[in-house]
Amino acid sequence: MSASSKILCEAEKPGGEVGHANRFSGGAGQDYYAPVLCGPSTLGALAAAPESLRAVLAVLELLEPDDYGLYLSGFLRAGMQTFGEHWRYADICTACWAAARLLQPRSYLEIGVRRGRSMSMVATAAPRCDLVGFDLWPPEYAGMKSPGKELVAREIAKTGHRARLEFVDGDSHVTLGEYFSRNPGACFDLATVDGDHTEDGAALDLAQVLPRIPAGGVVIFDDIAHPKHPCLAGVWRRALAAHADFRDWTFDELGFGVALAVRMK
């Protein structure tokens, strides 16, 4: 195992507790396979399936509307009405909902929360999951208003979430390191990296987060097909090349694209 992919999670220590559902052991006999039961193709299939699209639409209806949310709802409705059950589409929202639905994570880390849209998907699908969100909380992001963490807390409350919600304010390139110094054994069953979209910044965030995912855990990376961020697909490929224990699934044919990866051992 390379130093960069060294497991840093308490949950991996002997006797440690694994939070998510993605594990199999035969019990007394020999375990022939790696302990993971659900790989990226299962998660990806649900992320792009009508069940997720309907669930995401329902969450979007709960949330305070903004331009992009309204556009996304219209896009999802049009795709489903026009192409019915055959239509396949995935993005950060459907990936978050599907991964949380199948994995039932106990802990979720998100870099780049903004209005809490993707975090609300996790909170809806896994209401008992502790949520930790990192953001700079600027008043505007990409030309759109970002009302801040007070709005996010209200949005998460609407989902029926019943576990811890924590915000870490500031530049993730500083605050992630500080967070992991304070919590050296911290690991996350599910994580989303959607903060700094520069090539170096996104790579740095992924490098910090990947070692904090236990076997069976999942990381989601947004915007791999975003026309304004053409570097991100390469950032994702290089990050996974440096962390051989992960297997990924990507969707880049519609929208801004999304990737997810499961730690297989």
Question: For binding to ligand SAM (CB under 6 A), which residues are involved?
Answer: 92, 112-115, 117-118, 134-136, 138, 141, 146, 171-173, 194-196, 201
**Residue entry with tokens 């709802």:** 73
Instruction: With H, G, I as helix, E, B as strand and everything else as coil, classify residue 72.
Output: helix
Please, what is the minimum distance in Å from the beta carbon of residue 96 to ligand SAM?
8
Q: Which residue number, 134 or 249, has a Cβ lying nearer to ligand SAM?
A: 134
State how far the Cα of 251 lies from the Cα of 217, in Å rounded to an integer: 19
State how far the Cα of 129 lies from the Cα of 126, in Å rounded to an integer: 6
Q: In this structure, is the dihedral angle defined by the CA atoms of residues 75, 78, 84 and 87, taken in order, positive or negative?
A: negative
- The pair of structure tokens assigned to 257 is 């694209």
Q: Which residue number, 58 or 244, has a Cβ lying nearer to ligand SAM?
A: 58
**Residue at 146: amino acid letter:** S
Please, what is the minimum distance in Å from the beta carbon of residue 30 to ligand SAM?
42
State how far the Cα of 194 lies from the Cα of 197, in Å rounded to an integer: 7
Please, what is the minimum distance in Å from the beta carbon of residue 17 to ligand SAM?
28
Q: Which residue number, 31 or 178, has a Cβ lying nearer to ligand SAM?
A: 178
State how far the Cα of 47 lies from the Cα of 53, in Å rounded to an integer: 8
Q: Which residue number, 39 or 127, has a Cβ lying nearer to ligand SAM?
A: 127
Q: What Rg, from alpha-carbon coordinates, does the chain have?
A: 18
Q: Which residue number, 37 or 151, has a Cβ lying nearer to ligand SAM?
A: 151
Please, what is the minimum distance in Å from the beta carbon of residue 90 to ligand SAM?
13
Angle in degrees, 0-180, between the axes of helices 40-47 and 50-62, rounded to the nearest 10: 60
**Residue at 120: amino acid letter:** S
Please, what is the minimum distance in Å from the beta carbon of residue 227 to ligand SAM?
14
Q: Which residue number, 106 or 117, has a Cβ lying nearer to ligand SAM?
A: 117
Please, what is the minimum distance in Å from the beta carbon of residue 117 to ligand SAM?
3
Q: Which of 122, 129, 78 is nearest to 97 (CA)?
A: 122
- Please tell me the number of Cα atoms within 13 Å of 175 on its side-chain side: 17
Q: Which residue number, 105 or 195, has a Cβ lying nearer to ligand SAM?
A: 195
Distance of CA 251 to the CA centre of its chain: 14
